[in-house]
Amino acid sequence: MAAASRPHVARKRFGQHFLSDAGIIDAIVRAIDPRPGQPVVEIGPGLAALTQPLVERLGRLTVIELDRDLAARLRQHPQLEVIESDVLKVDFAQVAQALAAPKLRVVGNLPYNISTPILFHLLGHVQAIEDQHFMLQKEVIDRMVARPATAAYGRLSVMLQWRYAMEDVLFVPPDAFEPPPRVDSAVVRMVPLAEPPAVDVALLSELVQVAFSQRRKILRHALGAWLQARGFTGSFELQRRAEEVPVQEYVALAQALLPK
Q: What residue numbers does the annotated binding site cover? A: 17, 19, 44, 65, 86, 109
Q: Which of 165, 161, 158 is nearest to 189 (CA)?
A: 165
* Rounded distance between C-alpha atoms, residue 200 and residue 128, angstroms: 18
Annotated binding site for S-adenosyl-L-methionine: 17, 19, 44, 65, 86, 109
Contacts with 109 (C-beta within 8 Å, 6 or more apart), sequence order? 17, 19, 44, 46, 50, 134, 135
Helix, strand or coil, per DSSP, at residue 166:
strand
Query: How many CB atoms sit inside 10 A of residue 43's CB?
Result: 21
- H-assigned helices in the chain: 22-32, 51-58, 68-74, 92-98, 115-123, 138-144, 155-161, 201-211, 222-229, 247-257
With contact defined as beta carbons under 8 Å apart, do 202 and 44 qualify? no
* Rounded distance between C-alpha atoms, residue 58 and residue 40, angstroms: 8
With contact defined as beta carbons under 8 Å apart, do 133 and 107 qualify? yes
